[in-house]
Amino acid sequence: MTSSDLKSVLNFSSFRSEPDDPSAAWKKRFPGKRSVLFGVGRSSLSWQAIGKGGGTEDVETVRADPKEILTSSAASIKDKTDDGWCLVSMNTRYTISLENNLSRRPGSEELLKTNARSVLGGRYERGKLYAMTHNPETNSSLLVSFEEDQTRRAESMFREFGFRVGRICCGTYVLLRHALSVTNTSKGSDKPLSTLYVVLCEGAVCALVQDQDRWLELRSRTDVYDADISAVGDILAPFHARLAPEVGITLICDTPLSGVEEVLSSHFPGRAITDLSKPGLLAGLLTQN
């Protein structure tokens, strides 16, 4: 054993996940390291610095072509990281759908990453990347898909400006999974939750109707809003007539969004709104898992 090997054992670094291991939690891959979360839109780029202890700075967003923004700002953003490591939330050109009877063989969610055809069958499309979440009580599932070329172009763009992409995800999908996990705490009881989940993430909107244990309807759109969030209400308004009077709304945003509760209240009068949003929420979820 060399002196460097001995040192790595003594300081526990030999037991840590490699930075390039995407299956490991971010906090295990980069303990005590600074990184940055990028949000990529159709014509916008946001970034949020993540400190050594996991704390976040305010989100900065610029409405312009992402590559143009990086041309002028990459150096100053990279200074907020250690070794240029970053996470990327793709907020445009993805699809989230509600599917039935997808394969639930043990390990199917992992197999989806390497052999999606064997899991999706006729739903599979060449050149796409997938992730899914099963409803544990019914045969329905959430399925998110990206164009593989899109993720490759994004990774290439950031690499061109000196960044190292450690994880690419759909921020809306991450937030929806989180909302489901923290609210469905009465599964199997006499009063399972019925609600309309509303997810907002940098211009993207996703709504999911849950009636007790069942997922009934999902609507997902990207590039819906920017500074003006009134369009959010127009997308969601048709759900009001289809919800039972006692059903409320569960709202979750990547970071608190001014005025959104007022917009929802105008289209869903009398319905209770539970807001799960908090500053740096998406960054926190991505770096803890």
> In this predicted model, what pLDDT tens digit does every residue of 96-130 receive, in sequence order?
999 999 999 988 888 998 899 999 999 999 999 99
The rounded distance, in Å, linking the Cα atoms of 224 and 213 is 29
The 10s digit of each residue's pLDDT in 188-244 is 567 789 999 999 999 999 999 999 989 999 999 999 998 889 999 999 999 999 999
Question: Model-level pTM?
Answer: 0.91
The rounded distance, in Å, linking the Cα atoms of 278 and 226 is 19
Fold that domain 3-91+151-169 belongs to in CATH: Nucleotidyltransferase; domain 5 (3.30.420)
Mean pLDDT taken over the chain? 90
The rounded distance, in Å, linking the Cα atoms of 29 and 16 is 7
Q: What is the dihedral of CA 10, 14, 19, 24, to 10 degrees?
A: -110
Token pair of 118 as six digits: 């064997």
Where exactly are the structural domains of the chain? 3-91+151-169
